[in-house]
Amino acid sequence: MNITSIDQAQYKNAYGILCHSLPKMGSRDALNPTFCHVEVGGKTTRHNHFEPENFFIIQGQGEMTIGEKTRVVKAGDLVQIPPFSSHTLKNIGESILQFLSIYTEDYTVPALPTEVVITAAPPTPNGPLHLGHIGGPYLAVDILSRYLGSKSVNVVTHSGTDDHQNYVGEKARSLQLGKLEFRSHCRARIQRGFRNMDIHFDEFIEPSQDHDYQNKIKTFFRRAVDANIIQLEPISMPHCDHCELTLVDVHADGACPHCASSSRGGCETCGIVVPAYELHSVHCGRCGQPASSVIKSVYTFDLKSHLPLIVDDLAKLKLSPRLQQLVKQIQIQVQPSMKILVAYATENDFGIQVDGRNLHVWFEMAAHYESFASSEKFWIHSFGFDNSFYYLLYIPALLKALNPKTKLPDAVVTNEFLLLDGAKFSTSRGHAIWADEFTGNSEHLRLYLSEIRPAQQTSNFEMDAFNAFSTELKMSLAKILDRAADIATVKPFETSADNSVVIQSQRFLKDLEMNLVPQNFDPRQASRLILNFIDTTTQGLGNMQNDKLRIEALATALIPFMPETANRIQSVLSLSTYQAPHAEAL
């Protein structure tokens, strides 16, 4: 019999409240009971985790929020919280709210699909990649593909340059360079940046030089016209009389009609996209003059009328709270229509031409993604919040309207902005660290960018912080490699590692996998598990059997994040090294 008294002094801060975890009775005890106090007016920080959890309310009254649903709870209520559900509990009573949290660490890692295609939002070739780009969609894709490859999943990664953005032509003009020359130069730097970060794509297309690609896009446009999915209509477009230019995207500086933030159509603050003619206070992005307007016949797509086609599929996707809010906000918009620009006549013929008009790049993107949306393979798409409107709403609705058999991605990997020294990375202002010019340890950088990944909110990169991280990591890995070399010289062990170390190592790898499977992909949490295990390994060095087991587990864990380091450790221990299936691509 084990009777424990609860000492108030043992309560510690956790999740914004005071908690006290009861000790386990043994290594096979899977339950984790924790007593919690919430002060009057206080609340737990909003969070989620992969374990299912139960709250039993002992005393007081609270407001329980799980996902988007909120209910009042009182003493005697039992609240069941599903895995990965974002939740918070607020004390709305007049006394301390006490509850017992019970969760279990016994769980099953979801089965992996057998065939996977991972697409990443294409970078615009109006400049090189900076670390904000790398820490967003691209490193995540590489980590996920390496993990799946190590599990013998047939995985293909796909991206390319977004050649037809008018940002490219305008940047070339400002530098007094030819469009094709400038675009080619930027594409080469983008590819060098990927190589420098050890990021590989099996397919990396160049739309401006691919005639089959362009014909596919034109055929898709004609299908949409014939099916009456897009309409030709006269619209008053913003125009610069001084530059003799129709103002769209880079040429249209205005204010978002929904949140009043500066916007060129796609608002980085609220995420809502509007055509240039709906922006407020439009000025020419080239000369700064206020816009006039001209009537032009343009093709548009009415997103509002086609949203019902994808509502059920959207509900199945695991989205961050901010993305859930964006989707909800669009669905409740009161205006009868929500027009998206498809093709328009312009003085700038930088894009694909259809019916004497310039095809807007996001319609082009939808046409290209039709093959992935029609595939039986498990499709994962990676992109930033600023493009979420297009990838979650516009493209799926357009594809579904034209081809009812298409699907949304089976899983999405999204990110917010990564800041540099507290300010947004900016190619135009040169406030950046370029991926192709980075001279530090790129393996260390991969792990560091994973740890600070802006998954659901912005995060900040500081070079001093990275250098300190890299120095400490270098020393820890040197100890581990030295120990691995010592172990390699010893004859096979006659005894096994301690049971506690076996359980610890297996638990670590299982927790890691839970954060790397496509359904739950969270490289931020996975990298933190790795860093904690590195500390555990270096601090526990001494027993060769235990050390060998931990180091082998660490080498396996590092494959997606630090592949060269993983191979070095495995080579020292004479283990089979892992080679990514696409290591020679790009």
Per residue, the 3-state secondary structure of 434-475, as one string, reads: EHHHCCCCHHHHHHHHHHCCCCCCCEEECHHHHHHHHHHHHH
- What confidence score (pLDDT) does residue 49 get? 72
Residue by residue, DSSP assigns 134-188 as IIIIIHHHHHHHHHHHHTT-EEEEEEE--TT-HHHHHHHHHTT--HHHHHHHHHH
- pLDDT on residue 584: 42
> What pLDDT was estimated at residue 3?
66
Would the pLDDT of 27 be above 50? no
378-384/115-120 β-pairing: parallel
Query: What is the average per-residue pLDDT within 81-110?
Result: 86
Please give the model's pTM, rounded to 2 decimal places.
0.84
492 pLDDT exceeds 90? no
Determine which of 275-284, 402-411, 486-495, 521-530 has the lowest per-residue pLDDT on average. Answer: 486-495
Overall average pLDDT of the 279-299 stretch: 96
Question: Angle between the 442-451 and 563-572 helix axes, to the nearest 10 degrees?
Answer: 120
Token pair of 500 as six digits: 């506690």
Q: For 419-428, 458-467, 557-566, which range has the lowest pLDDT when averaged over its residues?
A: 419-428
Q: Which stretch of DSSP H or E encloses residue 281?
A: strand 280-284
Supply the pLDDT for residue 583: 41
Quote the tokens at residue 518: 């496509």
Judged by phi (left if over 0) then psi (alpha if -120 to 50, else beta), residue 249 lies in left
Task: Give the CA distances from residue 194 to residues 128, 421, 585, in Å, rounded to whole numbers and listed in that order.
Answer: 10, 23, 11
Task: State the DSSP code for 18.
Answer: E
The sheet with strand 252-255 has its strands ordered as: 262-263, 252-255, 280-284
Q: Pick from 414, 377, 378, 371: which is nearest to 395 by CA?
A: 371
- Which pLDDT value is given to residue 398? 98
**Is the per-residue pLDDT at 553 higher than 90?**
yes
Question: Per-residue pLDDT for 185 more than 60?
Answer: yes
Q: Percent of the chain, pLDDT > 90?
A: 79
How confident is residue 494, by pLDDT bands cut at 50, 70 and 90?
low
Write down all domains in the chain, each with its CATH number in brackets. Answer: 14-104 (2.60.120.10), 462-572 (1.10.730)
Q: How confident is the model at residue 430 (pLDDT cuts 50, 70, 90)?
A: confident
As to burial, measured by CB atoms within 10 angstroms (0-12 exposed, 13-18 middle, 19+ buried), residue 545 is middle
Compute the half-sphere exposure of residue 454: CA atoms within 13 Å on the CB side of its CA: 25
Q: What is the mean pLDDT of residues 427-444?
A: 92
The pLDDT, as a whole number, for residue 454 is 96
Task: Measure the CA–CA gap between 141 and 411, rounded to whole angstroms.
Answer: 12
pLDDT mean over 75-87: 88
Q: Which two tokens stand for residue 162?
A: 């977004």
- Where is average pLDDT lowest: 235-244, 324-333, 401-410? 324-333
